[in-house]
Structure 1
């Protein structure tokens, strides 16, 4: 489907708001939760992020597709967005790394999109009214009466109560070797990463630090994890309502009871919160983009971070507090979003476990928070060495590495 198509398309929201444009990508119907992403770059990483499963993504950046698409920048094995909304797509890609055009890849994978709509107006509407169910209808589907289209949208599933992690997870385990990502020394640790919607850059970040990553499906239980005798366990980002992930929450509780170091990102942060006994709730319109300010409360540093979440942990900002499930001891909120005081990280004080709500692997996005991978490697080091205090050091986490500029050297380009 060429971006110059004359086929009609319409975006319909559940409150009856209608935006008319032209088809982009595949023709047909796409239903999902309408959300917006504020990233100025990284559209390919966005559409291939499994955390966007079940969502119609509105790009606030007006020009999309300028650099085309390529295999290296994909964050997963396929496009996961349910539908795609852009204002002004590129007529043709122009970049030496491009291997194809964005609209052609959308069409090839059956992803229905819409172009030539006022994405600023759509974003303002969603910001004021909240994320809501929506539908993109193109071609013959767009010619149906508006009332029929609104009815189709209001009959669709809401994001609350949707269990999606097991629908996007890897079907079989696989291993990411440090040597594949530039590490030249001996393997430092064996890590089990539970794929709840894992982005490919995350095991890359571990591997380049000398960690062998055993990626396992979301259905893996504690017995399967423990059989690999890991130095640590990681829970990834992922889509859906964390309240539905009871199986994964019980697995995580077993990890915590075992004393194995744990690190969680995004969905993994929400599941740590629920494993400790806290609740989760749905944000009005969520955090999605690569420019979100977060305060690390222990160092006082403000980090510009990449986000993609519509749910958050309901934990007290004043702390430390005893976890609602008292067997897990004390916990504190370690990071807070400066825009709205949403919990952006948890730190267990009596267990070797911590998590953050945002994306330190940052593909695409800023690398302010990449030190968290070093922090977890150090936590696994301390646990293996049998030090008395397995919790996270409260000193400046970046230490000498920041001063020497080594962190930037490790990041490279993605």
Structure 2
């Protein structure tokens, strides 16, 4: 069946439906990764967004549940140039088309994704309509107004898990157990990727995951060795309640590692400001520079907002990482606290593992806390 993408500026593109054939309005974003489409589709940070993949052939190695970054996909739709009808991979458990149908995720194949991405790069992130029909005249103008007015709502509550969950350690040759973990880490889940949990488990950590509605007191009461603030979707400045809870965590003496949305919320909690990027950073090839060492790392990223480094009080935190492409902030080192925050994804998946060492730095922060 024919499918159409209508952007809020009136640009229209044609393709064919893959997955459910239904109409929806969504924020349209793009990702430049060349592989890892299943991890992208199941990244909770895409809640409420339709994702355009720049790589032209998608689905050629099928889907494998072990590679999923959440229990189910939360994105609104998937937009691709060509969907492979043949999957070739010994690990494959099915094809991408059936996966989208199973989770009621609409998609469009046969789309001129290069032209769509050019629109987004030139005009910035836009909303769009996915539909099986074209609209004309007054009906089209009224629809364009609806598209422009669309906003993603309650994204963090939808992306985060609903119940407290426990994840025992899995690494170091079995030296660490659920009864005797290396560290106990509280993970504040705003839409955490599964590999974030695995990165802690394999370093001997017992992870207790807390839903986004959790109060700071409930996280602090068991006295964890460290706290991880996860990635997640949406505009960080709209999460006023979460900012207040993060402020209470900041005021504790527990080591904190904040990633992506967690990084933004921590900055807002201490008085800094965030702003919307023109079209965001989404892909596995974003270069970030360590300001202290001068070394550049290739990172995986998925965010549409950034922290204004100039708005951060220099008495509170020092800029640690910076994006090489556009100079935007990519991380802070908090000066009077054992807090490290980064805008990019050291757990990657998909993407390069250049910055995975930051989890080891978090381990060092917790070790230092034990020695105090």
Normalised by the shorter chain, which TM-score bucket? over 0.9
Kindly state the Cα deviation for residue 121 of structure 1 after the two structures are TM-superposed. Answer: 1.0
Equivalent residue runs for 1:18-29 within 5 Å: 18-29=12-23
Choose which of 90, 96, 102 in structure 2 pairs with 1:102: 96
Matched residue, 1:411: none
1:390-405 matched pairs, under 5 angstroms = none
Cα distance in 2 between the residues matched to 1:330 and 1:366: 30
Residues 32 and 157, structure 1, Cα contact 8 Å, conserved in 2: no
| TM-score of the pair, normalised by structure 2 | 0.95
CA distance in 2, matches of 1:64, 1:158: 31
> For 1:306, which of 300, 308, 324 is the aligned residue?
300
Cα contact 2:171–2:204 (8 A) shared by 1? no
The answer for the alignment partner of 2:225 in structure 1 is 231
Aligned partners of 1:235 and 1:30: how far apart in 2? Answer: 31
The Cα shift of 1:184 comes to 2.7
User: What 5-or-longer segments of structure 2 have no aligned partner?
Assistant: none
Name 1:395's counterpart in structure 2: none
Q: CA deviation at 1:107?
A: 1.3
- Label 1:315 to 1:146 Cα distance change in 2 as closer, same or farther (>3 A): farther
1:377 paired residue number? 363
Contact 1:307 1:359 in 2 (8 A): yes
Q: Secondary structure at the match of 2:310?
A: coil
Separation in structure 2 between the aligned mates of residue 305 and residue 95 of structure 1, nearest angstrom? 26
Q: Quick check: 1:362 aligned with 2:362?
A: no
2:41 matched to 1:50? no
SS in 1 for 2:67: coil
2:251 to 246, 257, 261: 257
In 1: Cα distance, 2:305 partner to 2:220 partner: 29
Match of 2:119 in 1: 125
Counterpart in the other structure of 2:261: 267
Q: Distance in 2 between matches of 1:135 and 1:301?
A: 42
Paired with 2:66 and 2:115, the residues of 1 have a C-alpha distance of 33
Q: Deviations over 1:222-268 (max 9, x none)?
A: 11101221011111000011011111111111111111111111000
Secondary structure of the residue that 1:316 maps to in structure 2? helix
Task: Give the Cα–Cα distance (whole angstroms) in 2 for the partners of residues 359 and 367 of structure 1.
Answer: 9
- Calculate the aligned-residue CA RMSD, in Å: 1.8
In structure 2, the CA distance between the partners of 1:22 and 1:161, relative to structure 1 (3 Å rule), is closer
Task: Provide, for residues 136-177 of structure 1, a one-character-per-residue CA deviation record: whole Å limited to 9, x for no partner.
Answer: 113xxx255486456435314767774411121101010111
Q: Structure 1 residues 128 and 183 mapped into 2: Cα distance closer, same or farther (>3 Å)?
A: farther
Q: Which residue of 2 aligns with 1:177?
A: 168
Tell me if structure 1 keeps the 8 A contact 2:27–2:152: no
Preserved CA contact (<8 Å) 2:129 2:147: no
Conservation of the 8 A alpha-carbon contact between 1:26 and 1:108: no
Secondary structure of the corresponding residue to residue 264 of structure 1: strand
Distance 1:123 1:218, change over 3 A: same
Which secondary structure state, in structure 1, belongs to the residue aligned with residue 66 of structure 2?
coil
* 1:335 is aligned to 2:329: no
Aligned residues: 369
Deviation at 1:211, TM superposition (A): 0.9
Q: Distance in 2 between matches of 1:336 and 1:219?
A: 31
Provide the residue aligned with 1:166 in structure 2.
157
Assess, with a 3 A threshold, how the Cα gap between structure 1 residues 144 and 348 changes in structure 2: closer, same or farther. same
- Tell whether the 8 Å contact from 1:161 to 1:244 is kept in structure 2 after alignment: no
What per-residue deviation string (whole Å, max 9, x for no partner) do you get for residues 324-359 of structure 1?
xxxxx4311110010100101011011111110011
Q: Is the 8 A contact 2:44 2:192 kept in 1?
A: yes
Identify which of 264, 267, 283 aligns with 2:277: 283
Whether the 8 Å CA contact 2:292–2:320 is kept in 1: the answer is yes
Report if aligned partners of 1:51, 1:237 keep a CA contact under 8 Å in 2. Answer: yes
- Mapped to 2, the partners of 1:293 and 1:36 lie a distance apart of 18
Query: 2:143 is matched with which residue: 137, 145, 152?
Result: 152
Over 3 Å counting, the alpha-carbon distance change for 1:165 and 1:153 in structure 2 is farther
Q: Which residue in the other structure is 2:206 paired with?
A: 212
For structure 1, which runs of at least 5 residues remain unmatched after alignment?
A: 1-6, 324-328, 387-414
**How far off its partner does 1:110 sit?**
1.1
Normalised TM-score (structure 1): 0.86
